[in-house]
Amino acid sequence: MSAPTTAPAAAKAPAEVVTRSISQDVHLPGVDRPLVLITLDNGHDHTRPTTLGLAGLTSLQEALTTARDRAAAGGISAVAVTGKPFFFLAGADLTMAAGGGGREDAVRIGALGHDVYRMLGELAVPSFGFVNGAALGGGVELALHCTYRTISSGVPAVALPECFLGILPGWGGTYLLPNLVGPATALEVIITNPLSNNRMLNGPKAFRMGMADAMFEPADFLERSLEWAGDVLTGKVAVERATVPNGGVARDEATWTAALAEARAAADAKVHGAAPSYYRALDLVALARTADRDTAFAAETEGLADLIVSPEFANGLYAFDLVNKRAKRPVGVPSASLARPVTKVGVVGAGLMATQLALLFLRRLKVPVALTDLDAERVERGVAGIRSELDALVAKGRMSTDAANRLKGLISGSVEAAEAFAGADLVIEAVFEELEVKKQVFAAVEAVVAPECVLMTNTSSLSVSAMAADLKHPERVVGFHFFNPVAVLPLVEVVRAEQTDDATLATAFAVGKQLRKSCVLVKDAPAFVVNRLLTRFLGEVNAAVDEGTPIEVADAAIEPLGLPMSPFVLLQLVGPAVALHVAETMHAAFPDRFTVSQTLAKIVEAKRSGVYAWGMDGKPYVEDDVKALLPRGGSASTEEQVRDRALRALAEECRIMLEEGVVAEAADIDLCMLLGAGWPFHLGGITPYLRRAGLLTR
Ligand SMILES: NC(=O)c1ccc[n+]([C@@H]2O[C@H](COP(=O)([O-])OP(=O)(O)OC[C@H]3O[C@@H](n4cnc5c(N)ncnc54)[C@H](O)[C@@H]3O)[C@@H](O)[C@H]2O)c1
């Protein structure tokens, strides 16, 4: 092992909340020498995740140095590491990496992490990671350096989210994980999960994937882990890892090449080469098959350092900060003390959105939820759909049968609003996107609910103020705009209409929090934030096609940005009819800037679900009957011209939205796009991106 690296000199980061490594001797039955139990504790409760900055790493280094010397002298039997309640370790303190110390400091951060962590695997005695709570990034890596691991079945989050943020698991993760669980499983954790909106594992899943050797219940996790460690030390338990999925530590080149190719294809499909972190991590996992530790760790340190100083990481940190701080403390919201309790929810409509909303309210609020629709058949179909979604959650092991049955008992449906909504404190509508229909619906609901019942609309583009205008109590109407799929996209745009009162708004934000959504306050302006920007952007791409640009060219134009999907794939997801309807609404509101594409209108008229069909190779192609609908001749633009025009349009729209006060600050536009449109973290926020491109000045 190399000599311990000293802490980076330029620690310009904000004051570190120091995680201390507290050692104590534990005597295990039948084991003659004590086990040193190191507890990672930052001295705060569970609301402040434990992270390791420079001082924290140094504290761990000191604890491990003492343990190493005692082990070498034959004074201890083992070393174990665990965390404070709810947290094992949430990884490195990101502000350390963002300290602005340059590449040299970044190299030192990588090397110091390796030097400290690898002591755990290089002691004269075995080491144990007792993963009692959330383990993220450097937390997972710390456990990986140990000889053995136990995990609590109650751990809510296990993940290596580094690539998502623009860096890579650079304290041993890219080497140790594939060598523990095999390349395919490791790449799922390192590459595929971060690509999928930063998906996390829980304790049982991580255990099944081979990331821990034993799993215990949370209630007596530490006692059981210590007991198990004692059994390992006395030879009563032999740890077998040959049965890990994906062939465990298969060394053959073919297995690794296939797993790497699959993960690379997943990265290409999602970020199109635009986020370097994924590709650097792939190279390191490839290296992990043959390299020794020193070589692999040195390469990790170099990769980490390159990425720490990259613009993509700075962008990732900006986005991370917005999503973790601003989204949790929305700006401009009335006091939570004004919020009214919600003990029963009504949902008008039993269609695509309404059923997803009913399921979410049911799962999170656990109160009676009643649905209505135009006829009994639709109501029954909606209720049955929700019940089968609950069954699916049980089948996937994400809900117990008892819990599902309890929720099934809370859902009901009726064609009679009076019957369904009696006693409701909140009714949300998700009926057809037509102002007159929505006005009639609210009038009918108002006739059967108490004057204080909050009325929410899930409209994507209509005026909430207009919807409320003729009601007796317009002050209780608020926009509550979800994104499809509701379970996946975390954003709700909360729309304050002209007459919405503070209690209604406070209730909307309180409910949003209970639903575990990120709420952003927006003004009652056409299509609010996300749909307004997406419609403007799609409008420009469609206009280029109307002018004679081939679909393939227009669709590839945005690829260099690394957005999750291309414009015409997005169109297919939204549905041409919905897209046309929103484009028409926006054209009516802002005729100068929003166009209605003739090609899109023809596609809707032809009842096509989009412009693409998918070939056997999984790639989209434009079918002949769609080609027949396209304009002939005209003037074709290049990819660059389409991209330039779309970005200029986005910048113009952002500027106008800020002037109109649609949101409080530009950061809210960024947040909406990150959470509601899948705007990639590696681009940071949309407004700083457009500013960097010289297209936006404020
Ligand atoms: N589809 C999306 O991606 C999406 C996303 C966000 C918001 N929205 C908005 O959600 C709303 C619903 O959209 P959807 O896609 O679920 O539509 P949908 O067509 O799937 O469902 C609408 C349902 O409302 C019912 N309905 C119509 N008039 C009714 C009335 N008077 N009383 C009771 N029920 C009535 C219909 O029978 C239908 O079942 C729209 O305002 C839409 O803009 C849609």
pLDDT digits (tens, 9 = 90+) for 112-147: 999 999 999 999 999 999 999 999 999 999 999 999
Kindly report the protein residue whose alpha carbon is nearest to atom 2 of ligand 1: 484
Q: List, in sequence order, the alpha helices (H) in 73-136.
A: 94-97, 102-118
Closest ligand 1 atom, residue 457 Cα: 41
* Number of neighbours of residue 456 by Cβ within 10 angstroms: 30
Q: Which of 379, 459, 460 to mutate to test the pocket of ligand 1 (most atoms within 8 A of CB)?
A: 460
At 642-667, the pLDDT tens digits run: 999 999 999 999 999 999 999 999 99
Contact 211, 181 (CB under 8 A): yes
Determine the angle formed by the axes of helices 311-321 and 293-308, rounding to 10 degrees: 70
- Give me the pLDDT at residue 245, please: 44
Of 317, 328, 327, 318, give the one whose Cα is nearest residue 161.
Answer: 317
Low-confidence ranges of the chain (pLDDT < 50): 1-13, 243-248
Closest ligand 1 atom, residue 354 Cα: 16
How many angstroms is it from 451 CA to the middle of ligand 1? 25
At 272-324, the pLDDT tens digits run: 899 999 999 999 999 999 999 999 999 999 999 999 999 999 999 999 999 98
Cα gap 298→31, rounded to integer Å: 37
Which residues touch 99 (CB under 8 Å, ≥6 apart)?
8, 10, 11, 12, 13, 105
- Give me the pLDDT at residue 8, please: 47
Q: Which of 348, 353, 428 to mutate to test the pocket of ligand 1 (most atoms within 8 A of CB)?
A: 353
Of 167, 166, 163, give the one whose Cα is nearest residue 186.
Answer: 163
How many angstroms is it from 438 CA to the middle of ligand 1? 10
- Give me the pLDDT at residue 99, please: 65
Closest ligand 1 atom, residue 355 Cα: 16
Reported as type and span, the H/E element at residue 667 is helix 666-676
Cα gap 255→53, rounded to integer Å: 37
Reported as type and span, the H/E element at residue 89 is strand 87-89
How many angstroms is it from 566 CA to the middle of ligand 1? 25
Closest ligand 1 atom, residue 353 Cα: 16
How many angstroms is it from 463 CA to the middle of ligand 1? 16
Instruction: Give the CA distances from residue 127 to residues 67, 124, 227, 229, 238, in Å, rounded to whole numbers and listed in that order.
Output: 11, 9, 14, 9, 15
Cα gap 168→172, rounded to integer Å: 10
How many angstroms is it from 488 CA to the middle of ligand 1? 19
Vertex 558: Cα angle to 554 and 561 (nearest 5): 170
- Give me the pLDDT at residue 249, please: 61
- Give me the pLDDT at residue 184, please: 94
Contact 46, 87 (CB under 8 A): yes
Instruction: Describe the strand order of the beta sheet including 345-348 as a list of residue ranges.
Output: 411-413, 369-372, 345-348, 426-429, 454-457, 477-481, 491-496, 518-523
Closest ligand 1 atom, residue 460 Cα: 43
The two structure tokens encoding residue 326: 């601003």
The two structure tokens encoding residue 292: 């020794």
How many angstroms is it from 432 CA to the middle of ligand 1? 4
- Give me the pLDDT at residue 565, please: 87
- Ligand 1 pocket at CB < 6 A: 348-354, 372-374, 378, 430-433, 437, 441, 458-460, 482-484
Of 340, 664, 353, give the one whose Cα is nearest residue 476.
Answer: 340
Instruction: Give the CA distances from residue 601 to residues 433, 541, 611, 683, in Å, rounded to whole numbers and listed in that order.
Output: 18, 14, 12, 32
- Give me the pLDDT at residue 239, please: 92
Give the active site residues: 141, 162
Cα gap 327→517, rounded to integer Å: 9
Q: Euclidean distance between the first and final Cα of the chain, in Å?
A: 51
